[in-house]
Structure 1
Amino acid sequence: MNYKLFCLFVCLICCCKAFSQSHSNEIGAQSDNDSYLGQGSDRYYTDGIFIYYRHALKVNAGSELQNKVLGFEAGQKIFNPQSGSIYYGGKDDTRYIDRPFAAYLYVGSTLNLLYKNESNLKLGGQIGVVGPDAYGKQVQDYVHDNFGFYHPSGWEYQIDNNWELNLSAEYNRLLARGSWIDVSLTSYANLGNGFTGAGIGPLLRLGDFNQLFNSVSTQSTAIKSSSVTSLHSHELFFYYKPQFNVVAYDATVQGSLFGSRNPNSMEITLDPERFVFSNQLGIGYSGKRFVLDAAAIFHTKDVKQMVQSHQWGSVTLLYRFN
């Protein structure tokens, strides 16, 4: 299973004795899936795939900035009800749709400003689509039909097409640090016709970690300057990130913010929970060439009609180069 391969990869990484070196570019991918936790579930936020390219920009010596990273990304998220199939008793039963079928496909860019005082401001923008044009049905059908899973049923009720512009801002700041432990403030805000909300919480790190201007924790392992003195030659740490989230709008649950409903549409929309609490447990690693971030994320219900909370695993692997 995927999670066994993932565990093996983590063990191999932990055995490596790579040494840190500054690289101004990195490229890689992130995969999210609820099956990574080995619980046999296939529900709610069930799959995500993302591709990243990040390039460190030059920082003036007299600036308050220690690092500056420009990023580009593309990704897809797929959402199901409590199961990817609502076919019961010889027909589709929409009573089992406790979270809408939906997919989100996007491209985006970020600018990460990282300061010498170990705070950072990461600004981002995405252009994307929620609905059939995001190809969630096609991707899920292909995976299930070709890898021995059940055939999905119910995508005709998915969220209708709506094109979106979404903006984001993330702020982090170091609060306290010891030799093998530190605590930071993490926060974010989203604004757009697809996703609007905010969140805040602490980040606790245990192990060998580097400053927030050059760390896995702030997606800043790409750095232009080779004169920065890191706390450790490589990072290997465990982290815990609880977060309190406020949801103002979510197009994967509520559908289009502005568009009028098609009278022939079979779209089923539901009601988002306005307050969501999440817990994230993970491991971060950065070496000479490779960067790894692996985590388990646990969410309370984000839709009022959901019969239970949900969780998934996330693995990010990046390759660093000049």
Structure 2
Amino acid sequence: MKCRQFIFGLLLGICISGAVRAQQRKTYRHMLRGYEDNDNINSPGRRTDRGYTNGTRFDYFFIKDKPSHFFLNRLIPKAGDSSINTYGWGLMQVIISPKNILKKIPDRNDYPYAGALFATHSLFSSNPIKKYNWQTKWMMGVMGPPSLAREAQEYAHRLVGYIQPGGWDYQLKTDPLLNVSVAAEKELVHINNVVEFIGGSQASAGTALNGAAVYSLIRFGKMEPYFNGYLSQFTARKGSKPRHQIYGIIRPAVEWMLTNALIDGGIFNGHKEPIPEPSTTSDEPEMKARVRNRIAVKVEYGVVASFGSVCISFTQTTATPMVKGTGKQEIGNISLFFAW
């Protein structure tokens, strides 16, 4: 009897493994992504240039048939033997600027001028059978003048004929950025492959960000199952008919951010405040120090449309302010994907 159970279990495992491999062969194996975050891209139509004002990113994602021997990948959690593992490498620049960019000396209680340039390595490990995944992202780079954030923002403003920011001489100082974030997601409910409810949590640690978040993800429309692999979210399987996906997403989140180097300063030079102390003879009222909100509430919503190997998405994020008194933020994102 035990022998029969063992043989049955072995055959079942082989069938499941074969089904997953067959599914992987039908999907694309490589994908490029380019995206642009900007607070000028927003559905309410309000033109702003404050806080997290711009993020430009390029990524290359790929699926490997064999286990990776890269040392970082050995430290990354996987979603079991049936997982579809999608690796990624990316490069990103982030720009942060104050609410008032006209002042030559920025307000001490506003967002600082800050920028970061960093590389990322990621793994999206999805289990299509048990409907859960692990997402791990490593980032390494630098903040401060070497990020070229000043040059990028000044060039963009010249290009569109917008006012030049005046306070980049007082941007946060150079500091190294090394961080890791790990997220876990699990399907809670799905309705006829048309609606999916997913719960998730994330934690970040390092010299850039330290904090945690809980969130939910709601997807609705014509789409591939979320846990069929990262690439399948933005492409249609080869040979499937019709070969397109169009679906909406809603992602509410609560984030607790203990430290954020692009607001608080880096771990080595964060104590060196770049903004000079106000003059004692000045007629202006005394300015209070910056007060950070440690908890932020965000809602991301948008639409994803893919046609075969090509995909475009637009999302809008509404977030409570990370600096007290600066007002909520509206940030738009446009992403383009191409797979092969």
Would the TM-score normalized by the shorter structure come out above 0.5?
yes
Q: Could you give the per-residue CA deviations for residues 92-122 of structure 1, whole angstroms, max 9, x where no partner exists?
A: 3533751111111100100111112221101
Give the drift of 1:291. 2.1
CA distance in 2, matches of 1:166, 1:110: 12
Give the drift of 1:233. 4.4
Residue matched to 2:51? 44
Residue matched to 1:89? none
CA contact (8 A) 2:234 2:337 kept: no
Amino acid at match of 1:125: W
Residue matched to 2:311? 291
Q: Could you give the per-residue CA deviations for residues 204-261 of structure 1, whole angstroms, max 9, x where no partner exists?
A: 111112212236xx565489x979xx89843211111100100011001110224474
CA contact (8 A) 1:157 1:266 kept: yes
* SS at structure 2 position matched to 1:65: coil
More displaced, 269-278 or 242-251? 269-278
Residue matched to 1:8? none
CA contact (8 A) 1:25 1:222 kept: no
* 2:132 pairs with 1:119: yes
TM-score by length of 1: 0.81
CA contact (8 A) 2:246 2:306 kept: yes
Unpaired runs of 5+ residues, structure 2, are 1-25, 68-79, 278-288
* Identical amino acids, percent of aligned pairs: 22
Q: Could you give the per-residue CA deviations for residues 139-187 of structure 1, whole angstroms, max 9, x where no partner exists?
A: 1111112321111101112111101111111211110011221200122
Residue matched to 2:251? 241
Computed over aligned residues only, the root mean square deviation of the Cα atoms, in angstroms, reads 2.6
Give the drift of 1:25. 0.2
Unpaired runs of 5+ residues, structure 1, are 1-20, 87-91
* 2:191 pairs with 1:172: no
For residues 310 and 79 of structure 1, do their structure 2 counterparts lie closer, same or farther at Cα, with a shift above 3 Å needed?
same
CA distance in 2, matches of 1:295, 1:312: 8
TM-score by length of 2: 0.77
For residues 25 and 147 of structure 1, do their structure 2 counterparts lie closer, same or farther at Cα, with a shift above 3 Å needed?
same
**Aligned pairs, number:** 287
CA distance in 2, matches of 1:191, 1:300: 22
Amino acid at match of 1:214: N
Higher relative contact order (CA 8 A, sep 6+): 1
Residue matched to 1:77? 94
Rg larger in structure: 2
* 2:173 pairs with 1:160: yes
